[in-house]
Amino acid sequence: MNNEHILDATGLLCPLPVLKARKRLQSLSSGDTLTVQADDPAAIIDVPHFCAEAGHELVSSDLENPVQVYVIRKK
């Protein structure tokens, strides 16, 4: 069973990366991880805020490249 999933949200502007992440997480099991790739500057604020509000764990965030990579573990 694969519990790691990827969402490519590059090219999407706020609030679409978070909305698509929320929708994808709904279909996952608790403990599964979702790797979100985004290039929207607002995602730096939006993704951590979304995780805190929804109770998901932001496992990691890589903001060094043009494409930001967030790993979210579903609560």
CATH number for the domain including 64? Answer: 3.30.110.40
The pLDDT of residue 64 is: 83
Instruction: Tell me the mean pLDDT in the region 30-35.
Output: 96
Is 51 known to be catalytic?
Answer: no
Predicted local distance difference test score (pLDDT) of residue 14: 94
**Average pLDDT of the segment spanning 57-65:** 93
What is the per-residue pLDDT for 2?
61
DSSP state of 23: H
Encode 34-67: b = buried (16+ Cβ within 10 Å), e = exposed.
bbbbbebeebeebbeebbeeeebeeeebeeeeee
Q: Is the model more confident about 11 or about 2?
A: 11
* pLDDT the model gives residue 55: 98
| Tokens 């990691």, residue located | 60
Domain count, the chain: 1
Considering the candidates 12, 14, 44, 58, report the single residue annotated as catalytic. Answer: 14
For the chain, give the mean pLDDT.
95
Q: What is the domain extent for residue 39?
A: 4-73
